């Protein structure tokens, strides 16, 4: 997989910080690319191939969930606080209804207040999109 830091010979902390400060690449707002990177990272580290990632946004009670398996994005769903475990709200009834599923990150990346990944007993959490992106870039 080609990395976004291909212009650097090695990923130093300074290189990653410069990359993230200077450019939020559109590819890192693409749900399919994020899932591809996550799958690659976790396949080599914990041998997991499926999971889900939750994006929580400021000023929104609903959050978006990306379900993935075998390196592919399988579904994007919305979940409201009233939903029980395993339940989701119809996209048309969610706070994201004015947007396409794949456009949620593009529209709201600067309002992300929490990102959580759940995979085969693993849970990871970040408090902002730049922190999540930095982790992706350092680990891809």
* pTM of the full structure: 0.79
38 — pLDDT class (breaks 50, 70, 90)? confident
pLDDT at 76: 95
Domain boundaries along the sequence of the chain: 13-139
Model confidence at 20, in pLDDT bands (50, 70, 90)? Answer: low
Residue-wise pLDDT tens digits, 83-103: 998 899 999 999 999 999 999
Contact 96, 62 (CB under 8 A): yes
């Amino acid at each position: 997989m080609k990395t976004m830091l291909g212009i650097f010979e090695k990923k130093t902390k300074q290189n990653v910080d410069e990359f993230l400060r200077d450019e939020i690449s559109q590819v890192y707002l693409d749900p399919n690319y994020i899932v591809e990177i996550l799958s690659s990272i976790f396949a080599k580290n914990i041998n997991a191939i499926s999971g889900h990632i939750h994006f929580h946004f400021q000023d929104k009670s609903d959050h978006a969930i990306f379900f993935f398996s075998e390196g592919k994005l399988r579904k994007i769903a919305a979940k409201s606080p009233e939903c029980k475990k395993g339940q989701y709200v119809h996209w048309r009834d969610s706070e994201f209804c004015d947007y396409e599923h794949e456009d949620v990150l593009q529209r709201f990346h600067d309002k992300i207040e929490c990102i959580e990944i759940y995979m085969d007993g693993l849970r990871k959490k970040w408090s902002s999109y730049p922190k999540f992106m930095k982790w992706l870039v350092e680990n891809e």
